[in-house]
Amino acid sequence: MLYTSLPPTSDAISPLTTLQAGSVLLHRGDAVDRIPRLVKGKVVLGILTDGEISHQLGVVKGPFWLEAASGLLGLPHAVDAVAETDVQLEYVSLPDFLAQIKALPMAAQNLLMDMARSQRQQTELGVSRLAKDADARCAEWLLRHAEPDSLVGGLSVNLRERKRTIAAQLGIAPETFSRVLRHLRERQLISGGGRVLGLPNPQALRELAGV
């Protein structure tokens, strides 16, 4: 989903592929081995259920690189993608795509990587809001911000932002965030209070978060 004007070289690009509306172009969680460039048409991004997008994150229109950020970061696809109209696609293998990025000046490379990381984070947050309830979102957020803590002999989270700000990031009300933390503490999934929360059972949190 990364915007870039970088043109693929003629020897790296695949022949133009035409697919009908309704075709599944990307599967969330699949490894990235090539980067699709949407040349023409519209594509819906979101969460696929029973062959259809059940939760829509957005619509993109060609020309557009689909999930380039995932390829740059070496991560699996963050979203499902389905053709809303008939589409035309070109593909660039991941090694060729990365080689072109590495040919850019270092400042441009750093900028693209920063953009990729930011976009990936926003995409993951958007998917989490669509697919998960408040408890699962909070559990995922805690795991993402967990750090080793020698004092507790495990993981802990330092709440560097106000709870109201964290709740806004999760797309829930501050009162809901406080309620979820209370429930997690009652289930012994978090411990402590104030600005530092211990995570005594990370595996249970992962199961709750679905990760």
Q: Do 24 and 97 reside in the same domain of the chain?
A: yes
Q: What is the mean pLDDT of residues 1-29?
A: 71
Residue 33's closest CA among 115, 80, 94? 94
Residue found by looking up tokens 């090694």 in the block:
95
CB 24 within 8 A of CB 51: yes
Residue 8 has pLDDT above 60, yes or no: no
Residue 25 has pLDDT above 70, yes or no: yes
Residue 155 has pLDDT above 80, yes or no: yes
- pLDDT level of residue 5 (50, 70, 90 thresholds): very low
Mean pLDDT of the chain: 86
Q: Do 114 and 173 reside in the same domain of the chain?
A: no
- pLDDT level of residue 151 (50, 70, 90 thresholds): low
Q: Do 42 and 111 reside in the same domain of the chain?
A: yes
Q: Do 60 and 162 reside in the same domain of the chain?
A: no
Residue 3 has pLDDT above 60, yes or no: no
Q: Is residue 187 part of a domain?
A: yes
Q: Do 89 and 99 reside in the same domain of the chain?
A: yes
Residue 4 has pLDDT above 50, yes or no: no
Global pTM value: 0.60
Q: Is residue 163 part of a domain?
A: yes
Name the residue range of residue 115's domain: 17-130
Write the pLDDT tens digit of every residue in 160-200: 888 888 888 787 788 888 889 999 999 999 988 788 899 99
Rounded to the nearest 5°, which phi and psi values hold at 157?
Answer: -125, 125
Residue 12 has pLDDT above 50, yes or no: yes
Residue 50 has pLDDT above 90, yes or no: no
Residue 200's closest CA among 157, 166, 164, 165? 157
Residue 121 has pLDDT above 60, yes or no: yes
Write the pLDDT tens digit of every residue in 74-120: 999 999 999 999 999 999 999 999 999 999 999 999 999 999 999 99
Please count the structural domains in the chain: 2
Residue 148 has pLDDT above 90, yes or no: no
List CB contacts of 21: < 8 A, sequence separation 6 or more. 83, 84, 85, 86, 87
Q: Do 108 and 124 reside in the same domain of the chain?
A: yes
Per-residue confidence (pLDDT) for residue 128, from 0 to 100: 74
Q: Is residue 113 part of a domain?
A: yes
Q: Do 112 and 51 reside in the same domain of the chain?
A: yes
Q: Is residue 172 part of a domain?
A: yes
Task: Please report which helix (H) or strand (E) contains residue 91, including its range.
Answer: strand 87-93
- pLDDT level of residue 11 (50, 70, 90 thresholds): low
CATH number of the domain enclosing 122:
2.60.120.10
The angle, 0 to 180 degrees and rounded to 10, between the axes of the packed helices 163-170 and 106-131 is: 80
Q: Is residue 1 part of a domain?
A: no
Residue 123 CA to residue 204 CA, distance in Å, equals 24
